[in-house]
Amino acid sequence: MNTELDQRITFNPRQCGGQACIRGLRIRVTDILEMLAQGVDQSEILADFPDLEAADILACLHFAAKRAGIARLAA
């Protein structure tokens, strides 16, 4: 568990519909993950979002990895 990365992901019911965001900014984790999945380079993401830090992108990946590991029961 990486507490420093975990703390970069925030949830606010009054912001972005309560979705996971980065450090209270209106940048959703899903948007960053989608860009990475489409092959956008991290340096381009950081250039497009000057408030982001490289550790924020790592936090998004860490968040997704933790979510992927959640066991779900099929009904």
pLDDT at 59 over 70: yes
CB atoms within 10 A of CB 19: 13
CB atoms within 10 A of CB 63: 20
Per-domain residue ranges of the chain: 3-68
Strands 9-10 and 21-22: antiparallel
Distance CA 75, CA 64 (A): 24
Architecture of domain 3-68: Orthogonal Bundle (1.10)
Residue 54, exposed/middle/buried by CB under 10 A (0-12, 13-18, 19+)? exposed
Residue 27's pLDDT band (cuts 50, 70, 90): very high
Residue 69's pLDDT band (cuts 50, 70, 90): confident
pLDDT in tens, 7-23: 999 999 999 999 999 99
Decide which of 54 and 69 is more confident: 54
